[in-house]
A and B are shown apart, each in its own frame.
Chain A
């Protein structure tokens, strides 16, 4: 069971000896919207399917998984990644969490600070020209030193 949070719920239920069938129990997931949940369920099913198909060949599994992940990323909007990460974290679904974090990390790879700020909606809280100040101070310090 990949959704560890859900698994926990089932374990807790068994401990409480509730006999109603697992297939009819409603598990509340207040922090997950339906859209990201749907994507995560699809991801999980695909992951398990690929793993089952290539039981002996770990490399094949990885390769197929990578291909699927590339396809998935094309369909997902960058803004949706936040929801997906939060959902995967809440459900304690490690593989998906790692995957989506990696996706965000590659999205900001080699990009300018402005791009990163825009992507994340961040405001700079630095004083202006911190580096410029250092450069000026430094240049002055090394000028005019007598030679040997």
Chain B
């Protein structure tokens, strides 16, 4: 008598994981989360080990396809396009996408009016699930333009609004920060807002701009690249800030920290990025281009909160960092396409979209795919979250 046929539920979890590992498209892997609880936990585990995708848009004003977003897998060269939805406000004007970045698995698409008006709005979009929400809370009228300049869409770059979510669920009680500017309208404006609030709260004392805003251990931190009185006392610097919204005076609190760094890595010369490591430490990655030698230099520091001091580290261990405004740190291993102890960064100076810095031998290597057929504007990394 023939034995009963084997069915899929007989497959042990580790074999199921092997199958899902072979799923090439992150969109397919992401959809697996809706199959059942076991698949959701496997998909979550595998997505955490997938490299982030490259996110970009075409040059909006020189190209007809300005409503397309491209997500590319840097390691395979495969790309997916997503159409951005059209938006027409109550005044009947069309808004076009201007800028896109990502936060906590959501795409933040910044729309501006196609006529001469600074009105803007934001669309929060998850390209893998198709879920999206309009935030029409930035609509301003013409009277809000302090310079009273006529604005032509052809030669004005609208400053992007950047949004920082504190969790992958935008409805959670934690805060969202909007980063407006810089631009011809005003110096940088930053505001706090929580879902359910009626008004947005301006963030005071924020100086010229705050970069690399990160949500770390329930607080928002950032880097002020042009702090007044950079050096308080020898090696103590004022570039590290916390954005506080609780309390009577929401604003920027400077956290003086000690850092011993070479002159060419000073706040004025280097780009600085905050990133959370896998074990929960806060890392500072400094990156600068040395013209004389035509090379990139990197320094990585870890914050010792007790001493308020940044300690230099020379190895990332088995981690890889994907560096940009929203930097990501992930676990690398022999089976991952990305390598451990490496920093993947955007290399503008050598005109490569992405390059790799190996912390071990301190060398920069060529990108795998030059991705030449796309005019990348504001490229960044996108990582879905389950």
Please report A residues at the B interface, Cβ cutoff 8 Å.
Answer: 33, 79, 82-83, 85-86, 89, 97-98, 101-102, 104-106, 108-111, 113, 116-117, 119-126, 131, 134-135, 137-139, 141-142, 144-148
Contact = CB atoms under 8 A, between A and B. Distances in A.
Interface in B1-42: 3, 5-11, 15, 18-25, 27-28, 31-32, 34-37, 39
B47 interface: no
Given A79-B5, A126-B34, A138-B170, A85 B11 contact: yes
A137 B171 contact: yes
B169 interface: yes
B233 interface: no
Contact of B28 (A109, A121, A145): A109
Nearest to A139: B133
B93 to A, nearest CB: 16
A87 to B, nearest CB: 10
A40 to B, nearest CB: 15
Given A82-B8, A134-B169, A137-B171, A122 B19 contact: no
B133 A142 contact: yes
A122 B129 contact: no
Interface of chain B: mostly helix, strand, loop or mixed: loop
Contact of B37 (A79, A108, A119, A125): A125
B25 A116 contact: no
B199 A146 contact: yes
A82 B10 CA distance: 8
Contacts of A120: 8-9, 35
27 contacts: A33-B3, A79-B5, A82-B8, A85-B11, A101-B19, A101-B22, A105-B23, A113-B31, A117-B35, A117-B36, A119-B8, A121-B8, A124-B34, A124-B36, A134-B131, A138-B170, A139-B133, A141-B195, A142-B133, A142-B137, A144-B198, A145-B193, A145-B199, A145-B200, A147-B138, A147-B140, A148-B138
Contact of B18 (A101, A113, A141): A101
Contacts of A85: 11, 15, 19
Interface core residue of A125, A131, A135, A141 (most chain B CB under 10 Å): A141
Contacts of B193: 145
Contact of A138 (B8, B133, B200): B133
B36 A82 contact: no
Contacts of A104: 19, 22
A100 to B, nearest CB: 9
Interface core residue of B8, B24, B135, B199 (most chain A CB under 10 Å): B8
B6 A108 contact: no
Contacts of B293: none
Interface residues of B, number: 46
A79 to B, nearest CB: 7
Contacts of A106: 22
A122 B10 contact: no
B6 A86 contact: yes
Contacts of B37: 125-126
A113 B35 contact: yes
B171 A138 contact: yes
B268 interface: no
Contacts of A137: 171
B24 A105 contact: yes
Given A101-B22, A109-B23, A113-B35, A86 B8 contact: no
B198 A116 contact: no
B199 A131 contact: no
B289 to A, nearest CB: 38
Contact of B36 (A102, A123, A141): A123
A146 B21 CA distance: 47
3 nearest A-B residue pairs (beta carbon):
A141-B195, A105-B22, A120-B8
Contacts of A79: 5, 7
B303 interface: no
A82 B15 CA distance: 10
A146 B134 CA distance: 15
B234 interface: no
Contacts of B6: 82-83, 86
B139 interface: yes
A105 B9 contact: no
Contacts of A134: 131, 169, 171
B384 to A, nearest CB: 14
Contact of A116 (B35, B137, B144, B169): B35
B196 interface: yes
A141 B137 contact: no
A83 B140 CA distance: 63
B197 interface: yes
Given A135-B131, A147-B138, 12 more contacts: A82-B7, A83-B6, A85-B11, A102-B22, A105-B20, A105-B24, A121-B9, A122-B35, A123-B36, A134-B131, A134-B169, A141-B196
